[in-house]
């Protein structure tokens, strides 16, 4: 009896996750959420991506991966998110949120999902200034100012 209840609960949780999850893909320099294009993407190199607004083709977000000038030592690596229209910079070592070392496009898809989940981006691809500030408060680690050069 308890096994049936646990199984039913497990199936309910999985179905809720599938229902509320969003399908984010980057294809042909287009960021698609559930099949609708919300942003344009440009891969600059393996460690840099730019995202552009659909409304006015303005660059709104620049992602950069920094190896902290130690390519063989991964523990000090971090990423930078520049929200250009909001003039806000977020530096974080929490690479688990977006990392996918074999495919940078998949990592950028995880980034967009994360920004949608945090409501930094809305479903029209526009930045929410209040949520950008909250995002910075939550995740900014101020790495550049803490690092001696």
The reported pLDDT for the residue numbered 137 is 95
Of residues 80 and 145, more confidently modeled: 80
The reported pLDDT for the residue numbered 127 is 95
The reported pLDDT for the residue numbered 18 is 44
Examine the pLDDT at 99 and tell me if it is beyond 90: no
Of 94, 96, 122, 93, the C-alpha closest to 107 is 96
Q: Where does the pLDDT of residue 69 fall: very low under 50, low under 70, confident under 90, or very high at 90 and above?
A: confident
Instruction: Give the model confidence (pLDDT) of 22-55 as tens digits.
Output: 789 989 999 999 999 999 999 998 889 999 999 8
pTM, full prediction:
0.79
């Amino acid at each position: 009896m308890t096994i049936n209840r646990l199984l039913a609960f497990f199936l309910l949780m999985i179905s809720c996750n599938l229902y509320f999850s969003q399908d984010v893909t980057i294809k042909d320099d287009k960021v698609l959420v559930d099949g609708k294009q919300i942003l344009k993407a440009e891969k600059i190199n393996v460690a840099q991506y730019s995202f552009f607004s659909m409304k006015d083709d303005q660059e709104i977000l620049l992602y950069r991966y920094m190896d902290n000038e130690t390519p063989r030592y991964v523990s000090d690596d971090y990423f930078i998110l520049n929200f250009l229209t909001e003039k806000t910079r977020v530096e974080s070592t929490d690479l688990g949120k977006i990392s996918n070392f074999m495919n940078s496009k998949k990592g950028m898809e995880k980034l967009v999902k994360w920004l949608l989940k945090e409501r930094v981006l809305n479903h029209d691809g526009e930045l929410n200034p209040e949520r950008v500030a909250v995002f910075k408060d939550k995740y900014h680690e101020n790495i550049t100012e803490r690092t001696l050069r």
